[in-house]
Structure 1
């Protein structure tokens, strides 16, 4: 009997420990443990969220937030030597890179929507944007209907591309909608008059223009075509990993550490041109961060 009671006490102690401490098990966490690295997918030109600076280093608002998530993983996993490793992705391949386990966190300007949640998971949004239009400074265009019979470019694999295509069909505007492989190429097309406008999240448009030597050549126009909750993306196959990421994002917001990161990238000079975007936090994000959650409409 004493032995039975002793075994029972041990079993209860083990169960209590399991309930108190995270299991740290799952395909993503197992991969991170075995490799000693967290693979961060970044973008080339999604200023100020995720881009490459003049020295070739991945930088940006979302990248900084992801590095804070890596710090949290070091603490939770008791793995002080855990290192980030960066891999560049595009709008076209970013979801596949997460699905196939080639990246652990996608740190960029990706919209959390229902279609994508069938394949991947998202944490609390770090920005809420709206798609508008980048046009040349002398353009008469102001709203979507002004593009009738003109050419609009958007980036392959993005929600604004789908939205402008849908609006074109709905209003029968006869817009020639073309795809660009990345944001930078789309801006170049507008600059060279190969396209009359570039449909994309407004904050990205401001960032792209601020980094050019000719910012006065452009303007951002139009009402919001879409509302875009942008969030860090990762695998939907590891519930423990998701909980850890969600908890840390909520902590960063509630302690205002995330606000400091926001100010660094939206209200102070940033590369490549060392100019400030001068974009205070919009009311959509302020309201959303009062009660941070990964649950978004749509």
Structure 2
């Protein structure tokens, strides 16, 4: 079922472009290390070289960014991470580097990355200044925004209709922070409750334990499509926040930053970025769902600044 999103504000578009240019441009200017020279590897690349594997953090229920089909992590973010892995293999001159997967949640993803339990987080994580004090981000891969999911049989069409009602958010997300700020500013008296992951948040709203579920619009559309619940649930209201996504990796790691930057620049030039978007958002997904969410003008412009032809 086709869904329509209101275009993000010009200020957001400008911020997205600035971040994309900073991430892609600055990294592309620095020279790569010499493949096979183990003396120059540091940070994540040295860790991967020594272990012979790279560990990707995946989410169980961030469809279509990162989710499980059977026991296999798949999704838009997983595809992008696997392209980064290919760049790491080239850098290390080691095509035999293995890929391991570790499940993360919104609350564990940053600690697991910082501690070295995972090397790249492949999920639906908003890149913001607060998080950049702990981790680094790839160039922007998606632009989302907080919206509300409610039952179609309800009378709720905006956050203003939810005064005194129960709204669930997933713990450890930027959506929780945005909703609490909105509640305080407008004195709505919301009963804000949290669940550990998006699937459990969805279940609370679908079952009526919560009157609404607040998270990024693309995730809401994905959850509704995944559960084939278009008749029972819908996404309503304007954007409560805007959230540019990126892949997370450890900060202060210039070799890894260059590898990630080269990956995105190459994917933009080869149009692999737009193909990955089409695969997960505009066509039937490999697991059978169809979101039909056209690429926003803002994300298209971000990809263009990375080198994608019109």
**What TM-score results when the alignment is normalised by the length of structure 2?**
0.85
**The residue matched to 2:239 in structure 1 has which SS?**
coil
CA distance change for structure 1 residues 21 and 191 in 2, over 3 Å: closer, same or farther? closer
Give the alignment partner of residue 53 of structure 2, picking from 37, 44, 49: 37
The answer to whether the 8 Å contact 2:58/2:73 transfers is yes
Map residues 1-298 of structure 1 onto 2, 5 A cutoff: 21-22=32-33, 24-53=40-69, 55-270=70-285, 272=287, 274-292=288-306
**Aligned Cα RMSD in Å?**
1.5
Q: Which has the larger radius of gyration?
A: 1
The answer to whether the 8 Å contact 1:135/1:196 transfers is yes
Listed as ranges, the gaps of 5+ residues in structure 2 are 1-29, 35-39
The answer to whether the 8 Å contact 1:211/1:271 transfers is no
**The residue matched to 1:215 in structure 2 has which SS?**
coil
Count matched residues: 273
Structure with more contact order per residue of length (Cα contacts < 8 Å, sep ≥ 6): 2
CA positional deviation for 1:162: 0.5
Q: 1-side partners of 2:265 and 2:237: how far apart?
A: 33
CA positional deviation for 1:51: 0.5
The answer to whether the 8 Å contact 2:64/2:222 transfers is yes
**The residue matched to 1:140 in structure 2 has which SS?**
coil
Deviation beyond 4 Å, 4+ runs, structure 1: none
Q: 1-side partners of 2:268 and 2:174: how far apart?
A: 26
**The residue matched to 1:141 in structure 2 has which SS?**
coil
The answer to whether the 8 Å contact 2:45/2:92 transfers is no
Q: 1-side partners of 2:57 and 2:289: how far apart?
A: 25
CA distance change for structure 1 residues 45 and 289 in 2, over 3 Å: closer, same or farther? same
CA positional deviation for 1:243: 1.2
CA positional deviation for 1:281: 0.6
CA distance change for structure 1 residues 77 and 149 in 2, over 3 Å: closer, same or farther? same
Q: 2-side partners of 1:21 and 1:249: how far apart?
A: 15
Listed as ranges, the gaps of 5+ residues in structure 1 are 1-18, 294-298
**1:29-76 deviations in whole A, cap 9, x for unaligned?**
1100001111000000000000011x2110000001111111111112
Q: 2-side partners of 1:96 and 1:51: how far apart?
A: 20
Q: 2-side partners of 1:187 and 1:221: how far apart?
A: 15
The answer to whether the 8 Å contact 2:45/2:88 transfers is no
Q: 1-side partners of 2:286 and 2:220: how far apart?
A: 15
